[in-house]
Structure 1
Amino acid sequence: MPAIQSRIRLVDLLLLAVAAVWGSTYLAAKELVTPSTVMAILALRFVVTAVALLPVCLRRLRAARRDEMATGMLFGAILAVVLLFETFGIAHTSATNAGLIISLTIVMTPILDSAVGRSWLPPQFFIAAAAAVVGVGLLASGTGLHPPTAGDWLVLAAAVARAVHVTVMHRKSARKQYDSLTLTYVQMATAAVLFCAVSPLAGVPAWTVASRLGPGLWVVLLYLALIGTVFAFFVQMWAVRKTSPSRVSLLLGTEPIWALLVGVVLGGDRLGIYGAAGAALILVGAGWGQRIERKHREEKEKNGSAVAGSGIPERAEEGRPVAG
C-alpha cells in the first residue's frame, strides 16, 4: 500500500511539474522571440525536438503505415498553425496574457467537438465558457478598459486552432490502430520542416538566427525543446498508463495558474484590478467548464455502456438512422 501511494504521489508531482513547465514556456518564448524571428525560433525548436526524439522513434517509423504517416502530417500542419498564432501573439502581448488566454482551449474544444458530433453540452457549461470569455476581455484591459491588443487576438486565434487540432486528432485517430509515439513524432517533424521552409520567406532565416543566438538564449531554446516538449511528452505518456485520464487532465489543467505565477513573479507582469478580475474569471470558468464536460462525458459513456450491455440498440441521433 505505501508503495502504491508513493507511486501516485510521484505521478502527481511529475504531472504538476509538466504543467509548471508549460506555464513557464510563455515567458521563455517571450524572452526568445521578436516579430522577425518567430518562424526561425519555431524551426530551431522543432528541429531540436525532432532530432532528440529520433533515436526513440526510428524503429516505429520504419514500421509505420502510409495512412498513419499521412495522418501525422495533417496533424503536424495544424499544429504549425497553432504555434504560429501562439508565438506571434506572445511576441505582441505579455506572457501572463498569453498563458491565460490560451487556456480557453479547455472550453473551446468541447464546444467544437459537441458541434461536430451533434451532442450538446449542459447549459451550465456555456455559462462557464461565457465567464471565461468575459475574463479574457477584462484581462486584456489590464489597468483600464480598452480593446485587446493584436497579440491578445493572435493568442485567442491560437486557442481556437488548438481546439481544432484536438478535435481533428480525435476524429481522425479514434478507433484506428495508430501508434501514439509515431503520430507525435511525425507531427513535430512536419512542423519542423514547414517552419524551416517558410522562415527565409517570413523574417530572418533559421540558420542566421542560430548563428546569432548567444549562450543564454540557446539555453532558453533548449529548455523549450527538451524540457517543454520532449520531457513533457514522455511524462504525459507515462502518466496516462499509471493513473486515470481524468486525473492527468485535472493536474495538467493547472497550466494557466503556473503561467500567471511565472508571468507575475518572474516576468514582472502587472495585472491591475481589471486584469486580476479577468484572470480569476478565466481560471474559474475554464476549470468549471472542464469539470462539467468531464462529468457529462463520463455519464454519457456510462449510459452508453449500460445500453450496450442490455442488448437494446442506442437511439439514433436526430437525423441519423440506427446502424445495422
Structure 2
Amino acid sequence: RFRYYQNVCAQSYSYAWWDWARWEREIDWMALSGINLALAFAGQEAVWQRVYLSLGLNQSEIDAYFTGPAFLAWNRMGNLRGWAGPLPRAWHLKQLYVQYRVLERMRSLGMIAVLPAFAGHVPQGVLRVFPRVNATRLGAWSHFDCTYSCTYLLDPEDPMFQVIGTLFLKELIKEFGTDHIYSADTFNEMRPRSAEPAYLARVSSAVFRSMTGADPEALWLMQGWLFQHQPDFWQPAQVRALLRAVPLGRMIVLDLFAESKPVYPWTESFYGQPFIWCMLHNFGGNHGLFGAVEALNSGPFAARRFPNSTMVGTGLAPEGIEQNDVVYELMNELGWRHEPLDLASWVTRYAERRYGAPSAAAA
C-alpha cells in the first residue's frame, strides 16, 4: 500500500537550506521512484509561532525555544531548544512559500503528504502563561546540558495538552489542507518519566486525541526508533501500552532500522498496528559506499510472511541523502516485487542502465 520516504532527522541533515527548486527536483525523483507517502514539514514553525502568540507567550519566549534551521529536527521532537536560534521572520516566510509549493507538487503527483502534529513538548513560556499547568521537565539529551535541552512535556491528562495540540493542528490544516496522516514522536531518544504502562497509554491516547480533535479522520505516523534505541526501557508491556492506546489501524509505525534491527519480530508485528518496513542505511548524514543489500533483498519478504503480519509497505528512512544511489534504487524496486531478486543479475543490469552500456572491463 505504501512506499514511504524521508526521516525526520534528514530535515536538518540534508534539507535545512533547500529552496523550492531543489525540492521540486526531489519530489520529481520521488514520483519517478514510486514514492506515495512522504513528510512535508516546512513552515510549521510559522504556524507554531502564531499559536504560541495567541496563547499569550511573548516573542522573546518563542525565540528562546526555536533552534536554528539546521537543528529543528531535534527541536520538533523535544530534544533541543534555543541552540543556534532564533529564527528570523524572513526565514518563516520563505518556509511557508516552500511548503505551499511542496504540497501542491506532491498532491498533484498523487502522493500523501504527512504533516506534523503535537507531540506534547512546549516552550517554558507556557508555564508562565498557565502557572498551574502540569508539565515534566525531561532530561538532558545527547551531549547538551539543560541550557539547550531539558524541554518540558505536558502531562497527558492536563487540559492544555488537548487545547494546544488541537489548536495547532486546526491552524496547520487551515494553512495547508490535509491528507489526514500526521507525524508525532514524543519520546525520541528520551526516557519517559514513568515505565508504568498506564502512563504510557495515557500519553499515546492524548497525542492521538489532539489529532482527532482537529481531524476526525486522523491517522498517526510514528517512528519506531525509540523501541530499538532504548530496549531496556521499552519492554513488551511498555511497547504494547503505547501502541494499543490508539485504535488499531489508526497508527502506522515506521520500523525504521529494519534492515539491521527490526522491531516487528519481538512485538508481535507491533501488537496489531500497521507498520512499514524501512531501510535506514545511514546515521548523521554520513556518506559511505555501503549497504546491507542481502538484508534488503530478504527482509521485506520475511516481514510479509511473519505470522499475523501487519506490514503495509516499504520505506526509505536515511538520516542523510545524496549518497550511494544503488541501495536506494534497490529498495525502491523491492517495493514492487513479490520475491527476492537475483542480486548479481540485478546489479549488472543496474550498472548498464545507469551508465548506458555494458563494459567488458567491468565483467
Whose helix fraction is larger, Structure 1's or Structure 2's? 1
TM-score, with structure 2 as normaliser = 0.22
Whose strand fraction is larger, Structure 1's or Structure 2's? 2
TM-score, with structure 1 as normaliser = 0.24
- Greater RCO, 1 or 2 (C-alpha within 8 Å, sep 6+): 1
